[in-house]
Structure 1
Amino acid sequence: MDNPAETANKTHPLHNIPIEVTVTVGKARPLVRDLLQLGENAVLPLDSKIEDPVELYIGDRLIARGELQEAEGAEPGQLAVRLTEVAHDKGDLS
């Protein structure tokens, strides 16, 4: 028999509202003069390595970390994130 609380949560109107999650792979801190000189095919180095975890944010709140991978069952080259850490309470992933 279904738990009434679980059934109520599945039909809650907020469950159908889309939310934007931002995935951050790294940061760059160029000088403005260097940024203004960038053109097509320029390379902007980031402060992270390929094997470093990416961070997932909702607004400015860090909600999880993970690793980039190719999405299964999607177009070739489609990116996805496999979560390795998830924040359950405020301050979990500082």
Structure 2
Amino acid sequence: MTEPKNPALEKMLMDVPVRVDVVLGEARIPMEELMALSPGEIVALERQTNEPVDIYVSGRLVARGKLVVTDGQLGVTLSEIIDSRPEAA
């Protein structure tokens, strides 16, 4: 690993908040069915309960993980880190 060219800039960037989204799954249903949904109905997702969830940072897939409950809140345990950096030219 190379040393940062500007350590002060790197330190400042480490404090920048980023959006993290955990995607449980997706569903594709016709608009007619979507418009007919009412409270209490279930929309089945295209993912099994034992499959890992996708973790996105600022819209980019970076990891997969397993849902957990900690202190009464949902969380995610990372199970796979995805290297989505562009290849060096």
Where on the TM-score scale, by shorter chain, does this alignment land: which range?
0.7 to 0.9
Equivalent in the alignment of 2:41: 42
Equivalent in the alignment of 2:14: 15
Equivalent in the alignment of 1:79: 74
Equivalent in the alignment of 1:90: 85
Distance in 1, Cα, partners of 2:19 & 2:84: 19
The runs of at least 4 aligned residues of structure 1 exceeding 3 Å deviation read: none
Over the residues paired in the alignment, what is the CA RMSD in angstroms? 2.1
Per-residue deviation, 1:58: 1.8
User: Percent of aligned positions with the same letter in both sequences?
Assistant: 30
SS in 2 for 1:41: coil
Distance in 2, Cα, partners of 1:60 & 1:13: 22
Change in Cα spacing, 1:89 to 1:43, as seen in structure 2 (3 Å) is closer
TM-score of the two chains, using structure 2 as the length reference? 0.79
Query: Residue type matched to 2:63 in 1?
Result: A
- Judging by fraction of residues, say which structure has more strand: 2
In the alignment, structure 2 segments of 5+ residues that lack a partner are none
In the alignment, structure 1 segments of 5+ residues that lack a partner are none
Query: Residue type matched to 2:17 in 1?
Result: P
Per-residue deviation, 1:84: 0.4
Q: How many residues align?
A: 81
